[in-house]
Amino acid sequence: MPRLRQVRRSELHCGAEPVFQLLFGDRDPVDEPGTDTGTPGDWWTVFALVPDVFDHATHGFALYRSEKRLIDPQLRELGQTRVGWNIGSKFVYSQHCKSCRTVGFTEEQIAAISQWEESDCFSEAQRAVLAYTDGLTLGNGDVSEEVFTELKQHLSDEEILEFTYITCTYAMHAVMSKALKLEFDAEDGPLEEVPGPHESLSVEHTRRALKLIVGGKEQE
């Protein structure tokens, strides 16, 4: 169970209701928890405690998936998944293992993210962003000149800024999830992906929810 109170459906601010409808249907997830990826869904019910925090966080999801982004989605997902592993957030790690499949990673590559330095299944650019992610998270931002020089061989300054912002945002989410005991971080256990019962549906629901956040209505 989360450490903070969850917001019931009847208490939601207007901006959250359409997102809850897509994610939970007509259910109140406080009474009937569960999402298509197998999570309880209490990230949403806890963040809804403060409406502008909920809106800011969910707009952040829309930002990193925006068509305006220059960073390759594969590189982005590598950073987000590695962050979950480095910080020890089962929720962030598990969810982004799933997201890795949607951008074309193989099962071998997903399994290797946890020990990427020993693997030969990543490109030079992918290894560069993994090393940079380790500096951002394991090193608290202490990134060596060697790592940064290699990163600049593969990414523009704009791409590096986008990647850094998104990766650090997910470091925050991983830390908050652990501290507040949200989703898969509510219980101790091995750091691993949790299979979801309806993952294809979840991808579609997430896409539609993000369009609602950005535009105020579903867009095709």
CB 47 within 8 A of CB 55: no
Handedness of CA 169, 174, 179, 181 (dihedral sign): positive
Residue-wise pLDDT tens digits, 38-76: 899 999 999 999 999 999 999 999 999 999 999 999 999
| Position 148 in a domain | yes
User: Tokens 């380790």, residue?
Assistant: 134
Tokens of 137: 């998270």
What pLDDT sits at residue 36?
85
| Position 110 in a domain | yes
What pLDDT sits at residue 213?
60
At a CB cut-off of 8 Å and minimum separation 6, what does 138 contact?
A: 86
Q: How far is CA 15 from CA 19, 51, 141, 152, in A?
A: 8, 8, 34, 39
At a CB cut-off of 8 Å and minimum separation 6, what does 93 contact?
A: 81, 84, 85, 191, 192, 193
Domain count, the chain: 1
Cα separation, 194 vs 108, whole angstroms: 17
Residue-range definition of the domain harbouring residue 80: 73-196
| Position 31 in a domain | no
| Position 61 in a domain | no
| Position 203 in a domain | no
| Position 58 in a domain | no
Domain of 107, CATH number, reads 1.20.1290.10
In the chain, count of helices (H) and strands (E)? 10, 0
Question: Which tops the pLDDT comparison, 195 or 78?
Answer: 78
| Position 47 in a domain | no
Query: Is residue 188 helix, strand or coil?
Result: coil
Q: Which pLDDT band holds residue 217 (cuts at 50, 70, 90)?
A: very low
| Position 139 in a domain | yes
Kindly report the pTM of this predicted structure: 0.90
